A and B are shown apart, each in its own frame.
Chain A
Amino acid sequence: MSGYVFAAGALSLLLAAGAMVAAVVAIAWGDLGLSVPSPVVQAVFVLWAITLVGAAAVFIRIALNRLTVRRALRRQGPKGMILITADTVREMAGILLREELGLHRFRVHIRPMGEGLALQITLRLPPGEEVPALAERLQSLLAQEVSAKTGLEVPEVRMVVEGAARPSRSR
């Protein structure tokens, strides 16, 4: 559903940008019967249109990502379809990371891969942890548990370390 909302948002932004460009061109050619705005105003309009097109591109990318992830999370069985939403997979991965690995500061990103899902965990390295050991535990835990609990294949689990968490001060 949200994928369609984002697609609608992208379309409306593109239309707005198109209308703005057309209006600037028409004013410049004198078709609208208005005086030609100064180059500064024209530049502002062009920048505005570029911003709208950029925003529309972001919306389109998010919409496409959501729709493809949603498709990857859907399985047709003999009795009907089973869809596990991306939020559910994210929540499940979050619970596993908190409860099994004691992680607290992380983001879970999901993208479709082949017949299954690829997970990317972006985190800050907890104090005392070593990257190779944590990566191995994290990858095997998520690949096995998410696959076992959802029935979806998890061919890739990527861990991205974006910094180190500071040790908490004990008094």
Chain B
Amino acid sequence: MPRDEELIGESPEDGQISISRDVIATIAGLAATDVAGVAPPKGGTMPRGEAVRRLVEVELAEGRVKLALKVGVLHGHAIQEVAQGLQTKVKNEVEKMTALPVDEVDVEVVRVVFPEEGRRKDRFS
């Protein structure tokens, strides 16, 4: 049964430390936006701040994390390399910041994006 938060530490003196699914999604989303070649999956500009969590689905079960990301890739970048870079960056960042082991980072590349596309939409919106 998936849970909304996971216990990551407990001591009789200090109490419990738990981390929510949204926090993990935000960490993973911010890490994803740092990877060169990653573009928003549905056009427009890349989400910023907490909105980046929309890119990520988080499964938490028995102290282990499974992540799934849907992204676009900027035209000119090798999709395979961008996806592998994304997996490495997201896994490292989530493990570093939460101390939870990340079992899998599934990446779905849904489109190729021209760099001008985002700028054009910005101008007209």
Q: Which A residues are closer than 8 A to B by beta carbons?
A: 77, 79-85, 87-88, 91-92, 95, 148-151
Contact = CB atoms under 8 A, between A and B. Distances in A.
Interface stretch (B14-22, B49-57, B104-112): B104-112
Given A84-B109, A88-B112, A149 B104 contact: no
Main secondary structure of the interface of B (DSSP, over half): strand
Contacts, number: 64
A83 B109 contact: yes
Nearest to B67: A80
Nearest to A84: B109
Interface of B: 66-67, 73, 75, 77-80, 83-84, 87-88, 91, 103-112
Contacts of B84: 77, 79, 82
A151 B73 CA distance: 14
A85 B109 contact: yes
Contact of A82 (B75, B91, B107, B110): B107
A88 B78 CA distance: 12
A82 B81 CA distance: 11
15 contacts: A79-B91, A80-B104, A80-B106, A82-B107, A84-B80, A84-B83, A87-B110, A88-B73, A88-B79, A88-B110, A149-B77, A149-B79, A149-B80, A150-B79, A151-B79
Contacts of A83: 106-109
Given A79-B88, A80-B87, A85 B108 contact: yes
Contacts of B103: 80
Contact of B80 (A79, A81, A82): A82
